[in-house]
């Protein structure tokens, strides 16, 4: 009986690293922001790492930074052309630009204290989760 248990345990040890290495293709996310260095971006990156999403291994992030509001629509179209799995806006203005560029790719944005005043919740058709 010990021999069978030993063989089963050894087989499990040899098989498990293969399964953990085959995680599938990395997810692609597009990030649209105004400024390259912001607390929102730092918090987002930190939260992704804490939840197991590590850039370069299981996550590919395409960043676009507008620096001015008038460049948002062009950069949103550029991000959508890359066909990411998800797009992230650093705020409501970015979410509105992303929404005008796509209806098929999910949009996540934050922070916004009053999305109903800016109209971004209507533009993105988001659901407020409390």
- What pLDDT does 8 receive? 47
Give the Å distances, CA to CA, from 2 to 5, 6, 14, 61, 98. Answer: 5, 6, 18, 49, 61
Residue 75, C-beta contacts closer than 8 angstroms, at least 6 positions apart: 32, 64, 65, 66, 97
Nearest to 84, CA basis, from 39, 16, 26, 35: 26
Per-residue pLDDT, 80: 94
Measured CA to CA, the distance from residue 5 to residue 87 in angstroms comes to 48
Q: Domains for the chain: give ranges and CATH numbers.
A: 25-124 (3.40.50.2300)
pLDDT per residue rounded down to tens, the chain (130 residues): 555 554 444 444 444 444 444 467 899 999 998 888 877 788 888 888 898 989 999 999 999 999 888 999 999 999 999 999 999 888 888 888 998 898 889 888 776 655 555 554 554 444 444 3
Please give the pLDDT value at position 42.
83
3-state class of 64 per DSSP?
strand
- Specify the pTM: 0.69
pLDDT of residue 11: 44
């Amino acid at each position: 009986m010990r021999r069978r248990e030993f063989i089963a345990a050894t087989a499990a040890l040899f098989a498990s690293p293969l399964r953990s290495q085959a995680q599938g293709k990395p997810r692609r996310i597009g990030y649209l922001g105004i400024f390259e260095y912001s607390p929102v971006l730092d918090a987002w990156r930190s939260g992704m790492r804490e939840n197991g999403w590590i850039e370069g291994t299981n996550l590919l992030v395409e960043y676009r930074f507008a620096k001015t509001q008038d460049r948002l629509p062009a950069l949103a179209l550029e991000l959508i052309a890359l066909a990411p799995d998800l797009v992230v806006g650093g705020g409501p203005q970015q979410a509105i630009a992303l929404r005008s560029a796509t209806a098929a790719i999910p949009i996540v944005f934050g922070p916004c204290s009053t999305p109903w005043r800016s109209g971004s919740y209507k533009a993105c058709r988001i659901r407020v989760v409390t």
